[in-house]
Structure 1
Amino acid sequence: MVPLSFAPSLEFNGEEFALVDGRALYWPREQALLVADLHLEKASFYAKHGQMLPPYDSRETLERLALAIRATGARRVYTLGDNFHDSAGTERLEPHAAGMLAALTRATDWVWITGNHDSAMEAAAGGTLAKELEIAGLLLRHQAKKGETRPELSGHYHPRLQLRVRDRAIRRPCAVIGSGGDGGGRMILPAFGALTGGMNAADPAILDALQPAAAIDAVVPARGQLATFPLWRKAA
């Protein structure tokens, strides 16, 4: 496997984090890895409805996740919803992927935060379930809650930075951070799953979800640095 990249430290609400391979967030003080939107068993869901896709998305996602856990030494894993593409996804895991997931959930303190795709998910894959959590004053939930004034980490939107440089279109998964306004900072993580699309980070739905804010930025690793791209600013 290609070694994972670590972006320079990212400060968020007075805590230090690191973006791992541009898709996961590592929280050193909590020894926790946070990922959003794994969408495990998405291919098998589509196959069940007549659209055949290569059935290896879960393996690829779990291999990438195992590498991130090993690289960071994380002892805890928090998944921020849409862990499976549907609540019955745990039943469709083929033996190899099921064994990988079982090993990961045994090796770490694993918490599944459920999302809109898997709201009825059972803890059949190991770990524990939660609708949302608060860790060290930081809310963990699947979808950003408009009007939230407490610090928050979420997923759901699969944000991607979209740029055009020298007539070349560039699209990269990114984190989107809302800061200022009437409360603490709030961050939407990129999708981690192998078979996930993306939404323009500047889409009105994302900007609206992070209100109130004074500024909203996309953050993405680039050549060993952490690049920030302004998406929205509150009018003076």
Structure 2
Amino acid sequence: MPELSAQDAGPVVAAFDFDGTLTRRDTFTVFLARGLGWPRFVWALLRCSPWLVAYALRIVPNNIAKGKLMQATLAGRSLAEIDGWAAQWLAKDFPGQLREDAMAHLARHREAGHCCVMVSASPDIYLKQVARQLGFDALLCTEMEVTGEAEARRLTGRMRTPNCHGEQKVVRLRDWAAGRFGAAGLEGVTLYAYGDTSGDKPMLRLARYAWYRGEPWTG
């Protein structure tokens, strides 16, 4: 694994994608299947299949297909129920999914005192628990819309923020850095970034040091 630079100027930020970078595979579909049960999950996929197939054929963008799946699986569900899904997923599916090489990078950044940020297209309804468990300083992800108050709070199935994918990762990271570090934002920090798909490359291009699928990347 490449050494961290000893000559980084100013604050150091390490930005990690989650699915496929820190984990061995996508987690959102497994989370949904765990919560719904496989029969209901498969039925939801069939209902959304026109949009999922259109996305696979690059006819519709990621956020449209993903939004349809979220509507079909999450709309009207209480936050208490979703918290139960997250607890089940963390206990039964999450262990063993973490990639040792990526977790070694994360551990070294944490040991060096760097600010570690998870930047993911997956939703906050379970990533909040994951980010806290893994010791991240901040979480930037797709946030879900919630209605109601107190124990009556429920998901609408819609995204409250744009899908945190591709260029939106850059937007979210820049906004977060401006709030964290002031006017200089990302320009005043040394950025390390880690990803594994084309949707991560806009974020990787911002970084002084980037890794793509576990290998140093220069774009």
Alignment TM-score > 0.5, same fold? no
Q: TM-score range by the shorter chain?
A: 0.3 to 0.5
TM-score by length of structure 1 reads 0.33
Larger helix percent: 2
Larger strand percent: 1
Relative CO higher for 1 or 2, CA cutoff 8 Å, sep ≥ 6?
2
